[in-house]
Structure 1
Amino acid sequence: MCGIIGYIGEKDTQQVLTTGLRKLEYRGYDSVGIAVFNGESVQVEKSKGRLEELQQQLDQAPVLGNMGIGHTRWATHGRPSDENSHPHTDDKQEFAVVHNGIIENYLEIKRELIEEGYTFRSETDSEVISHLFSHLYSGDMVTTIQKVVQRLEGAYALGIVSKHEPNRLYAVREASPLIIGSGEYEALISSDIPAVLEHTRDIYILEDGEMAILTKENVTLLQTETGRELSRDMFRVNWDMEQAEKNGYDHFMLKEIHEQPAALLKTMTGRFNKESMTVDFEELQWSDEFIAQWNKITIVACGTAYHAGLIGKHVIEELTRIPVDVEVASEFRYRRPIVNEKTLVIVVSQSGETADTLAALRQSQHLGANVLAITNVVGSSIAREADEVILTMAGPEIAVASTKAYTTQVLTFYLLGIYLAQRKHTVSEDYSRQLLQSVIEIPSKIEEILEHSKGIRWYSESIKDATSVFFIGRGLDHAVSLEGSLKLKEISYIHSEAYAAGELKHGTLALVEEGTPIIALITQDEISEKMLGNIQEVKARGAQVLGVATEGNVNIWEYVDQSCYIPCTHSAVTPLLTVIPLQLISYYTSLALGNDVDKPRNLAKSVTVE
């Protein structure tokens, strides 16, 4: 969940580290710190809070040197504080370590080290690592790293500098992401690619059970357990740094909302034939016989990706008539899921590093299932380990609240549903063509919504002081309402819940009182009469209702207090449009409240711990 950076080279290390940490703050921003080897000793500067607070310290007292490590923290063990900030050092300050992950057996190790006379200054699990290095150092860093990681249980990506090895930076990985950047007379480590792009586009992706030795001249990869040197091709990053910058927008989230038409077009490109109106995934090596054997599909994901999976369930079941389950990844691995060789498991993760989803992938493969990954990051752990991969083309998503990653995932489910239906012949050619044409038109229709969003901003101002907001919908609208509610609560901090509208009378109506804001989605024609009845139920209790409907639906005027319209489209693909006003409502509400839109409290972008 945290972000780590490391550098060795000829540049100002402090500057390289702080610039890299700014690119990694989406991974956590409870505290921040750097450690630089100044030629004689390891100098550490760290503080609670965001990078700006550390920068003030460094402006007063810079740390000089050509090798160092940095860390931006999302707190797990221990509250945000100066003491709990990384990097952590040993008692003699001969070793400094940054850590992303969780050490599950840290209490046992900590007790042993205290008995040996070591002094602990923090509440973190990570501090045991720096003391272990001091305790186990044998005069050789590679063998010491091997001894240290043998003691560790859990997940870790580590960056290590030592007074004993002034010309080498070390990294080691197990179940937490870590990449190595190789430049001219410099090398870097990082949790994510954007932090190194200013210096190099040549990347090694470190695998579990591997370590790296970095010098100015070269990078050496080793298998951690044996010390055997590894040979691996470098990965060349082909996207531009500009994609990760704001480009004139006030916030990354607003920029990423506006990038959705382009991201959807890129995700579609090369995956359908406009003449035959068929979908083709060249990356999927499935025969008709292989597809025919599936008696169930299980979608596994977390958070926003889980909500995308709920829409995937509707789409795939409707088009293929294969039963689809949608599972929360954090629950999946702790029961006995009914998954076997006749199950297709689809794991969905924006980062491709989501710890729970990765564990579910491995468990599904162990049970014999074929696993398809839908992810945005080539070379990620999930992309590498899945049997098949569909890459979404959202580009870098920096804001913690996901927008374009979500819609590209949803789009992928539409394309996959049509693809499977055409392979299985479960819908008519006319219907699949009609549906695909509607999907193709979605990007231009999103642009229409974005061009007319002033009313949405006004509505956000009107709900900013609400204590609770409720979202209601039926069918596909209910799946979208869950995502809309999550967006609002995670960046505005207003209590928000989404309910299947038909369930209101089974308890939820007790929460509706005079003035309660309710956002009602009404885009599914076949159940619109039922939905209007549910709106009447909440209006009778005093609710203030915003209705989100397709253009031309004048029936809602007499039922709602305000209305918001999306362009007309096939009712099956409305989720790709309906979510756009909900994203904007959450953005403008957070803005009206003065919150940090891109970095909501207590959250981080990539969840790499359970």
Structure 2
Amino acid sequence: MCGIVAYIGHRQAYPVIVKGLKRLEYRGYDSAGIALVNHGLKLYKKKGKVANLEESTLGQDLEGHIGIGHTRWATHGEPSDRNAHPHRSANGKLAMIHNGIIENYASLKQELIKKGYQFHSDTDTEVLLYFIEDIQKNNSSTLEEALRIALKRVVGAYVIVLIDEDNPDTLIAARKGSPLVIGIGKGEHFLASDASPIIEYTKEVVYVNDYEIAIIKADELILKNLGNERQTPFIQKLDLELAAIEKGGYDHFMLKEIFEQPHTIYDCLRGRLDAAQGTITMSGIQNNMELIKNANRILIIACGTSWHAGLVAEYVIEELCRIPVEVEYASEFRYRNPIIHKGDMIIAISQSGETADTLVAIERAKEQGAVILGIVNVVGSSISRISHAGAYTHAGPEIGVASTKAFTAQLTVLTMVALMIAKERNTISHDRYIHLLNELNEVPEKVKHALENADHIKAVALKYKDVSDALFLGRGYNFPIALEGALKLKEISYIHAEGYPAAEMKHGPIALVDESLPVVFVATKDTYHQKIISNIQEIKARKGKVIAVITEGDETITEMADDVLPIPEADELIAPIISTIPLQLLSYYIGVARGFDVDKPRNLAKSVTVE
């Protein structure tokens, strides 16, 4: 959510920043802006897309080798030109961009109003900027010193970047709770919310830590903590190619990412799973196995699609490892008073590794003695750094806001983790263990085969594109996949959809069934197959339309359903990774048929770094 780009160096800053903001459009936003310093401070901002900003700057003075840019997702104040970032200080000399939320902004604002400051926006960002300016003015301090003092009073999350027309050779940035990466070039530096705006210029980056301030010149990077102590920047090499963040001939990033899944799941397994040798190698798990395998309880903490991955993991871990598992919404977990025992294991799942609710939840659990295991996609992210152990999903950049390949990669990693624990605990037979390794090893090819039905799924989607509601049902391992299918349809097509365990249908949702309601069953062959056939019959008896994800060759459900979406046969524990594929495609094609921007659904942000 929100996007930050800044530049200082020998290039013209404006084109670098605008291109970077376009790279960050996937994060979700409602306005954009840019500030440049060149014989004074120039500021341009506009409600709407980056293209609107570009149009508004035609004919303007855009010269300058230092600048900051921002895409805003509204929190305080409606989307508008005046609430867009950057904001300008009262004296007109400073400009600032900000991701996050300042929780005590109201009290700070009252203090500043009493001092005579007049505000021109509804944002907490402008309050923080004026607060920094006021400290600088009244303490005759440098901007760096004023920022340090201000941040000791601030409550909340932030990444901020400041420029000062009186110091046109310096950017100042700070971070707490939101991501910030600095790219290091030859005589130039790039700042961004993630690596996507940086990759075409340099692969050397520094991930800024919480409570650090960065003082950046074209040829110098200084990191300090809030105690004014110098920190040594840890320079990392980006394992990312420019092609990974481009569409590559697909109409949308979402479609590209759906079709990348045979490759991304293979990358997730590569170097880890050796079916021939009967081994799984994940050093982050192995090095902490004594703590993990002896956990009395596992708590899985996540949000959104990652929460659905956690629900699948609950079934898998309890089945294979015989350890009790609870799955929690991070946003609820962080605000109640959960019972955490020393030695409990927390599995935190997050695509970005920056999800604010999940981050705060695991920080509190860690303080109470829990072992934290992070499952994230983004290398160097906050959750990966705070965790005791973990595993990267290796799904690569996911630009589409609605998660697809990150979800299947999460399921793959979680299944491998469960198998490793089960083997160590001797809760799985050798034959079952080898069977599941072979089943997991075959998933990339089976997903590839499932994707071959895309044209058929598109035809089914066109039949149902104008419905107003949909119901998704599944049992056992497939119940969370039904939830995920419903979420995808909501996100992409704005059709109201709900997911339920199929047996719960009779406890309320069946009242919705009529001839206009499509009911999507995740009905692959498993332990519950006969039961779900009965549920389908109940829907058909009430004239509901049935769409069923089935195992290839299932003639029984084929004869009953209005439409079937077949997938290759797989063990019921592994099948959810494959059965989600047709639901992703169904949602995608319905969203496109309804004329919506499926890569950037309204009101949604990719990385939710505020609560």
TM-score band, normalised by shorter chain: over 0.9
Q: Which string of whole-angstrom CA distances, capped at 9 and with x for unpartnered residues, describes residues 161-212 of structure 1?
A: 0122111011011111111111111112111111111222111111111011
Task: Write the distance in 1 (CA, Å) between the matches of 2:191 and 2:292.
Answer: 41
Partner SS state of residue 43, structure 1: strand
Aligned to 1:114: 113
Residue 233 of structure 1 deviates from its aligned partner by 2.5
Task: Write the distance in 2 (CA, Å) between the matches of 1:233 and 1:47.
Answer: 36
CA contact (8 A) 2:275 2:441 kept: no
Aligned to 2:212: 210
Aligned to 1:411: 412
Task: Write the distance in 2 (CA, Å) between the matches of 1:87 and 1:592.
Answer: 37
Q: Which of 168, 171, 183 is the matching residue for 2:170?
A: 168
CA contact (8 A) 2:288 2:389 kept: no
CA contact (8 A) 2:89 2:129 kept: yes
Aligned to 1:183: 185
Q: Which string of whole-angstrom CA distances, capped at 9 and with x for unpartnered residues, describes residues 499-519 of structure 1?
A: 111111111111112221111
CA contact (8 A) 1:94 1:134 kept: no
Aligned to 1:577: 578
Task: Write the distance in 2 (CA, Å) between the matches of 1:173 and 1:536.
Answer: 56
Partner SS state of residue 268, structure 2: helix
Asked if residue 233 in structure 1 is aligned to residue 231 in structure 2, the reply is: no
Residue 557 of structure 1 deviates from its aligned partner by 2.5
Bigger Cα displacement from structure 2, 131-140 vs 254-263: 131-140
Residue 238 of structure 1 deviates from its aligned partner by 2.4
In the superposition, the TM-score normalised over structure 2's length comes to: 0.98
Bigger Cα displacement from structure 2, 278-287 vs 293-302: 278-287
Aligned to 2:306: 305
| Match runs of 1:252-263 below 5 Å | 252-263=253-264
Task: Write the distance in 2 (CA, Å) between the matches of 1:344 and 1:289.
Answer: 12
Aligned residue identity for 2:512: L
CA contact (8 A) 2:100 2:156 kept: yes
Q: Which string of whole-angstrom CA distances, capped at 9 and with x for unpartnered residues, describes residues 323-345 of structure 1?
A: 11111111111122222223111
Aligned to 2:203: 201
Q: Which string of whole-angstrom CA distances, capped at 9 and with x for unpartnered residues, describes residues 207-245 of structure 1?
A: 11101111111111111x221111122111122111111
Partner SS state of residue 59, structure 1: coil
Aligned residue identity for 1:590: G
Aligned to 2:43: 44
CA contact (8 A) 1:27 1:73 kept: no
Alignment gaps of 5+ in structure 2: none
Residue 477 of structure 1 deviates from its aligned partner by 1.3
Task: Write the distance in 2 (CA, Å) between the matches of 1:24 and 1:363.
Answer: 30
CA contact (8 A) 1:288 1:424 kept: no
Asked if residue 127 in structure 1 is aligned to residue 116 in structure 2, the reply is: no
Residue 452 of structure 1 deviates from its aligned partner by 2.2
CA contact (8 A) 2:179 2:382 kept: yes
CA contact (8 A) 1:319 1:421 kept: yes
Task: Write the distance in 1 (CA, Å) between the matches of 2:492 and 2:570.
Answer: 30
Task: Write the distance in 1 (CA, Å) between the matches of 2:407 and 2:61.
Answer: 41
Aligned residue identity for 1:493: Y
Residue 288 of structure 1 deviates from its aligned partner by 6.0
Task: Write the distance in 2 (CA, Å) between the matches of 1:368 and 1:180.
Answer: 33
Aligned to 1:101: 100
Partner SS state of residue 101, structure 1: strand
CA contact (8 A) 1:5 1:71 kept: yes
Aligned to 2:609: 608
Q: Which string of whole-angstrom CA distances, capped at 9 and with x for unpartnered residues, describes residues 542-589 of structure 1?
A: 211111110111111332111111011112211011100000011111
Task: Write the distance in 2 (CA, Å) between the matches of 1:49 and 1:216.
Answer: 31
Partner SS state of residue 76, structure 2: coil
Partner SS state of residue 457, structure 2: helix
Q: Which of 136, 154, 157 is the matching residue for 1:155?
A: 157
Q: Which string of whole-angstrom CA distances, capped at 9 and with x for unpartnered residues, describes residues 482-538 of structure 1?
A: 111111101111101111111111111111122211111111432111111111212
Task: Write the distance in 2 (CA, Å) between the matches of 1:105 and 1:164.
Answer: 29
Aligned to 1:18: 18
Aligned to 1:427: 428
CA contact (8 A) 1:372 1:388 kept: yes
Residue 478 of structure 1 deviates from its aligned partner by 1.0
Asked if residue 325 in structure 1 is aligned to residue 326 in structure 2, the reply is: yes
Task: Write the distance in 2 (CA, Å) between the matches of 1:604 and 1:525.
Answer: 36
Task: Write the distance in 1 (CA, Å) between the matches of 2:29 and 2:337.
Answer: 36
Distance 1:279 1:543, change over 3 A: same
Alignment gaps of 5+ in structure 1: none
Task: Write the distance in 2 (CA, Å) between the matches of 1:127 and 1:329.
Answer: 29
Distance 1:154 1:287, change over 3 A: closer
Aligned to 2:361: 360
CA contact (8 A) 2:4 2:193 kept: yes
Aligned to 2:341: 340
Aligned to 2:9: 9
Aligned to 2:515: 514
> Kindly, what percent of the aligned residue pairs are identical?
44
Aligned to 1:61: 60
Distance 1:387 1:96, change over 3 A: same
CA contact (8 A) 1:32 1:47 kept: yes
In the superposition, the TM-score normalised over structure 1's length comes to: 0.98
Task: Write the distance in 2 (CA, Å) between the matches of 1:368 and 1:478.
Answer: 32
CA contact (8 A) 2:312 2:411 kept: yes
RMSD value, Cα: 1.3
Residue 246 of structure 1 deviates from its aligned partner by 0.7
Structure 1 stretches (4+) deviating beyond 3 angstroms? 285-292
Task: Write the distance in 2 (CA, Å) between the matches of 1:290 and 1:356.
Answer: 25
Partner SS state of residue 528, structure 2: helix
CA contact (8 A) 2:285 2:417 kept: no
CA contact (8 A) 1:400 1:605 kept: yes
Aligned residue identity for 2:466: D
Residue 150 of structure 1 deviates from its aligned partner by 2.3
Asked if residue 477 in structure 1 is aligned to residue 478 in structure 2, the reply is: yes
Task: Write the distance in 2 (CA, Å) between the matches of 1:285 and 1:423.
Answer: 10
Residue 286 of structure 1 deviates from its aligned partner by 4.3
Task: Write the distance in 1 (CA, Å) between the matches of 2:471 and 2:11.
Answer: 52
CA contact (8 A) 1:487 1:583 kept: yes
CA contact (8 A) 1:341 1:368 kept: yes
Aligned residue identity for 2:133: S
Aligned residue identity for 1:100: N
Aligned residue identity for 1:37: V
Aligned residue identity for 1:409: Q
Residue 91 of structure 1 deviates from its aligned partner by 2.2
Residue 117 of structure 1 deviates from its aligned partner by 1.5
Task: Write the distance in 1 (CA, Å) between the matches of 2:395 and 2:153.
Answer: 39
CA contact (8 A) 1:253 1:587 kept: yes
Residue 275 of structure 1 deviates from its aligned partner by 2.8
CA contact (8 A) 1:8 1:188 kept: yes
